[in-house]
Structure 1
Amino acid sequence: MISFELTPQQKQVRDLVHWFAESEMRPISLQADAEHRVPDEWLVKVNRMGISLSTPGSQAHTHESKNGGSKTETLEQREQKKQSNRLSVIAAEEVGWGDPAIALTLPGPGLGGPPILASGTAEQKQRFLSIFTPDEPRWGAYGLTEPGAGSDVAGIRTTARKVDGGYLLNGQKIFITNGQRASWVVVFATIHPEMGRAGHRAFVVEKGTPGFSSPRIAQKMGMRASETAELFFEDCFVPDENLLGGEEAYQARQNGLSGFRVAMATFDTTRPVVAAMAVGIARAAYEYTLDFVRREYPKNGKSYTMACAQLANMRQEIDAARLLTWEAAWMGDLSMPNAKEAAVCKAVAGKMALEICAGCLNLMGPIGLDGHLVEKLYRDVKVYDIFEGTSQIQHLIVARRLYEQVGLRI
């Protein structure tokens, strides 16, 4: 049985992250959006504080067996022992509430962390993750999306050709968060496009590698403070030791799809985090608009009553999306298969947040477009219905899981 009562530790994490979001993120939110960047001195400051984008819960697939841990452990013991995914979504909601673009700019391995932790060798984990220290802000990145392959992960066309001592990568990646500033990027490529998923491989490409370049930062409607880069690989030599998991992991027949599985396992961990950030964005817009209605609407009039009814519906939708997100994170903590639940919470939360931000702007009217937080959130939130897989892809994932339960395939 899932408990929805936060433990003392979880409450402490929530309160600490909310304090950080309110005192450190909100004051620079509109400035960072207008300038399309987060001040360097601010990043140095928060890095020294130990605040990083480390994707809590990224170890969900590393230390427990596929059957969900020791058979002698009770469910309660396993819940108490492992809660990194739940702590992740609790923290993600608060930084989403603070500022979603700044949240993605926080130093740390980011989305590149989970695949390294899940599939990297001990040497790779040490080499690539030990660089994240309070001394200097550093970033990792995750390179999957291409001009012709976004939600359709199986369609990637970046190639990896085996040569003596490593691989030559050729191709292009787009919409890569922190891709230009990152110390390394986990890049997915195929050894042969005709092999489909079985040909996928994951590499860690380090900044400064010859043939690896990032010439352009995208100019976006929302999430302006977050760096979204385009990456190019032109005969980029990546040594064998940077093949994630090592060559032996791909030679084993049972791991024939492991490159693809690395990408999918990452999404099962990170989609609830994205959903939680969407919940935080919606909550921020709702709270801001609630204060506006209380302050500006004439009391006891029809408009006030209708506005209160709309806000009540918003609160219900926010709470429902949060519970779906918590369920997916709880299942991840127990090493239970959660692809369907991760897809459900991502689809529901992204759509919910977009609709609530639009509804809040409607309640505020033209005033809401004049430098208010809700207008910025409305621009920011759109991508939460897109990245980590569009809502349409989430629906397809859910449908596949449901059909599998009755012996059918789509």
Structure 2
Amino acid sequence: MINFELPTKLQNLQKMSHQVAAGIFRPISRKYDKIEHGPTPEELKPLAQMRNAMRGTNDEKADKKGASSSAAGSRNGANLAGIVAGEELCWGDVGLLLSVPGSGLGNAAIQAVGTPEQKEKFGKLYCAMAITEPGAGSDSAAIATTAELDGDEWVLNGEKIFCTAGERGDAIVVWATLDKSKGKAAIKSFIVPQGAPGMTLTRVEQKMGLRISDTAALSFDNCRIPKENILGSAEIADTEAARRKAFGGVMQTFDSTRPAVAAMALGLARAALEITRELLGKEGVQADYSRTLYNSSAIEAELYRMEADLEAARLMTLKAAWMADNGQPNSMHASMCKAKAGRMGNDVTLKCVELCGELGYSEQYLLEKFARDSKIIDIFEGTQQIQQLIVARHLIGLSSRELK
């Protein structure tokens, strides 16, 4: 039997996260949308102690013991908890969630491939992740930033752009290549503490949405970090199969973070739909689920379609997270839910603005902000197009070299 009910522990996390979103995030959402490039909001600093709940890591003990199992052999652990919490918090404000100290994307990389020592040393820091370069966007294998071992230190050289929390983060997880001629197999990730010699913050971007969340460009000029700051092995595989496996280990980070990004779209779209239903209700437009879609008004039909799209994206996202918790390969499902939710979030928020007319377009309500914020969710952590390409490769069994 398929059970779609959340277990009690996740329901409690859901309620707690919604309280934070409603009591802290939503009331200051507009205020910080107008403050770009400011310091970490004071209202968020007390929430740093809740970062484990926001990443879902407060379920780690239950995950290890199987205490959160809803059925024999089925575990609801850290990934699923992160989705549940993330959706609720992003109902409040996506940019503010990304600005809470300790909730950086680099933390997910450390949890995915870091050693126990690295998790202990860096896991509680606010860690950003730097992948994108001027010449390497969705194609992570095209990374040109280099890392060379010099004695007991790695020396990094290159440039990174669009790094979320690159200014505020305590450390940056930087993707670099050990040998450009070896392709994907030589791509590794390195933990670079903020202020490391040779790392420079070159600019902070002006953006359409998520304005309070800083997006930085960084340069590395003979930047030196300790030898032990590499995530995973420093060895470069010597066979094609081993190279694919090695790069797959680096890419494993995305199997956890893409469903988390999809959850952002879920919370954002749900928030927009709730406000839209409220505004339309004041004008006498009420959803009547006893009527069929084709016996409803045009506006009611739009609401039904958006609700169905949101629910489909939610189920796909929950499945991808559940698979990760249960040790099942979920790369395809992670890309599927990210593609579906990213497009859904953009479509729903823009349609809500349209349906609400001048109230949707003005700053009287948050609908126009939700629409601006939604666009980047369809882009970062792998664009809509790259997600569909990944899914296609899985479905027809072709490699990245065979299907580009």
TM-score when scaled to structure 2?
0.88
- Residue 111 of structure 2 corresponds to residue 117 of structure 1: yes
Partner of 1:370: 362
Q: Whose relative contact order is higher, 1 or 2, with alpha carbons under 8 Å and at least 6 apart?
A: 1
Give the alignment of 1:124-135 within 5 angstroms: 124-129=118-123, 132=124
Contact 1:198 1:259 in 2 (8 A): yes
Partner of 2:14: 14
Partner of 2:343: 351
Partner of 2:139: 152
Contact 1:89 1:272 in 2 (8 A): yes
- Cα distance in 2 between the residues matched to 1:159 and 1:396: 27
- Mind listing any 5+ residue stretches in structure 2 that lack a counterpart? 288-295
Partner of 1:329: 321
Q: Equivalent of 2:188, from 182, 186, 201?
A: 201
- Cα distance in 2 between the residues matched to 1:376 and 1:201: 37
Contact 1:360 1:374 in 2 (8 A): yes
- Mind listing any 5+ residue stretches in structure 1 that lack a counterpart? 133-137
Alpha-carbon offset, residue 22 of structure 1? 0.5
Alpha-carbon offset, residue 215 of structure 1? 2.8
Alpha-carbon offset, residue 297 of structure 1? 5.0
**Alpha-carbon displacement from aligned partner over 1:317-376 (angstroms, at most 9, x marks no partner):** 111110111111111111101111111110011111111111111111122221120000
- Cα distance in 1 between the residues matched to 2:81 and 2:131: 26
- Cα distance in 1 between the residues matched to 2:112 and 2:317: 21
% identical aligned pairs: 40
- Residue 113 of structure 2 corresponds to residue 98 of structure 1: no
Contact 1:55 1:111 in 2 (8 A): no
Give the alignment of 1:62-81 within 5 angstroms: 76-80=71-75
- Cα distance in 2 between the residues matched to 1:344 and 1:58: 26
- Cα distance in 2 between the residues matched to 1:3 and 1:298: 33
Coordinate RMSD, CA, aligned? 2.8
Amino acid paired to 1:179? G
- Cα distance in 1 between the residues matched to 2:244 and 2:167: 29
Give the alignment of 1:242-261 within 5 angstroms: 242-247=229-234, 256=243, 260-261=247-248
Mark the CA change 1:380 to 1:176 in structure 2 (over 3 Å): closer, same or farther: same
Contact 2:237 2:246 in 1 (8 A): no
- Cα distance in 2 between the residues matched to 1:94 and 1:299: 25
- Cα distance in 1 between the residues matched to 2:156 and 2:80: 37
Give the alignment of 1:6-45 within 5 angstroms: 6-36=6-36, 37=38, 40-45=41-46
**Alpha-carbon displacement from aligned partner over 1:217-251 (angstroms, at most 9, x marks no partner):** 1100111011111111001112211112354x657
Amino acid paired to 1:242? N
Partner of 1:285: 272
Q: Equivalent of 1:394, from 361, 370, 387?
A: 387
Deviates more, 1:109-118 or 1:333-342: 109-118
- Residue 160 of structure 2 corresponds to residue 173 of structure 1: yes
Amino acid paired to 1:235? N
Q: Equivalent of 1:311, from 303, 309, 317?
A: 303
Give the number of equivalent residue pairs.
Answer: 387
Alpha-carbon offset, residue 168 of structure 1? 1.4
Deviates more, 1:3-12 or 1:257-266: 257-266
Alpha-carbon offset, residue 198 of structure 1? 1.2
TM-score when scaled to structure 1?
0.87
- Cα distance in 2 between the residues matched to 1:11 and 1:281: 19
- Cα distance in 2 between the residues matched to 1:168 and 1:278: 38
